[in-house]
Structure 1
């Protein structure tokens, strides 16, 4: 019995694991953390102030906008016409038809972008395609090229095939310019998925195509939804391409209709109506982002997990 006890006592004592060093800027009262927090809060406060001014000005008369820019709207509420500016903007700018066109165009383009990007991202990240690394880098470079630099060549090409002043031609441009970001985003997301699922699928005799559609694509649902939402927000707010490629009122998107409405509203000093038009375009995407912010952030962080 004594021998057994001595054997137990002679075992080496296991050391506690070394405590990891804190990340830079995570210490309490760190100068970097204080400056970063201050910058974030100042930027947030500025954006909230701008949003408050925009919404408030949309319910004001031009005189109230310039005399009391930060006060609550009053005159239109007193006269019983609080939504007068919104009605004026909706009717004068023909936002009803433009709203329908924008919803259809953005929805179709966002879905097409994701449908093209998902197989491309899967092939680059999971199938071991030769040259997938340089090709992914080439796609990432495409994200850094400002689309303003290719507007003239795009216009010339579309003019030759008679797709200017055409919603289909604008949709093709939207899809082409949005593919690099979406492929890059989904490539990182597919890389974060476990390899064991593909191995088990291959053992069961499933082809790569079946594995993609039946197993990997449902698992990537969070990333697909994130890509879909981000593309929808970006295309909804896009203005420059719509100005260049659309000339007829019947094809105008919301942002293009607002650009045309700006000249008429400024000439008539209808600044309240103009800001109401801006609010009509901004608020739907703002509400959408607020409702789906958690899902968007989760999808982006999961995509950076590997």
Structure 2
């Protein structure tokens, strides 16, 4: 596929702009408030590392970091455990309802989460009421967030993994069936390991998306101690805006955003390999 020169130029300009913004945020996080306004694009005269300590203590990043790690890791892992078998069935089944299910999954991928915020909030309220009043006598809204993360991430994950499983040769599953392997044994022992690049890519993409997500956190969780890092960064913005601690605000952005940038730089090529593994046979 030949990419037009204008498109390539636009992509390079976009990449350069994002690199510039990432570097600018990092350098600004090391400046004093006065230096941020007097020399917004210059290098810091003397790195002010206290900005990071101020951002960490003011925002309460310590507690919410653990929330983010637990919520995102559990959500991404359970999403893969549910989506991989479903995608395998959709990729291998010849039943008439499979085509309709694939279309439904694609439509769900295109549906923005903002359009279902009200139903999700109602579902959150009903889950809490059922758990507290009927089932357990207690509930934690972080569990609700995990359930909703899983539900909203399943369509994309199934859509991605279905293409990956379709790219695997059917002769392997047929040979396993002749040897007496059950469909479940065939999936877990043969097909899933072969599709591991796509499975790994789906996990990483879900992890990154959930880690950076703030809208659902702000809508579904009211207690600041139970929220995740992006929501804490928004609270930090409100706090630093009134205290005029702009260096601390930029330091908070570095704490939240830079780890994900480094993670993507580390695994970016593996993500692309996994996403294209089912494109051709």
Corresponding residue number in structure 2 for 1:41: 12
Question: Offset of 1:24 from its aligned partner?
Answer: 4.8
Check the 8 A contact 2:163/2:278 in 1, yes or no: yes
Check the 8 A contact 1:165/1:245 in 2, yes or no: no
Check the 8 A contact 1:101/1:253 in 2, yes or no: yes
Corresponding residue number in structure 1 for 2:32: 61
Structure with higher helix content? 2
Gaps of 5+ in 1: 1-22, 26-32
Gaps of 5+ in 2: 130-138
Q: How many pairs align? A: 272
1:195 aligns with 2:195: no
Q: d(CA) in 2 for partners of 1:265 and 1:234?
A: 26
1:90 aligns with 2:65: no
Check the 8 A contact 1:165/1:247 in 2, yes or no: no
Corresponding residue number in structure 2 for 1:211: 186
Q: d(CA) in 2 for partners of 1:192 and 1:152?
A: 38
1:267-278 alignment, distance < 5 Å: 267-278=242-253
Q: CA RMSD in A?
A: 1.4
1:293 aligns with 2:268: yes
Mean CA deviation greater in 226-235 or 150-159: 150-159
Runs of 4+ in structure 1 deviating by more than 6 angstroms, as ranges, are: none
Question: Offset of 1:52 from its aligned partner?
Answer: 1.1
Cα pair distance change 1:54/1:24, threshold 3 Å: closer
Question: Offset of 1:252 from its aligned partner?
Answer: 1.6
1:107-145 C-alpha deviation (Å, 9 max, x unpaired):
110000000000000000013343111111110000111
Among 86, 91, 99, the alignment partner of 1:125 is 91
More RCO (CA 8 Å, sep 6+): 2
Q: Which has the larger radius of gyration?
A: 1
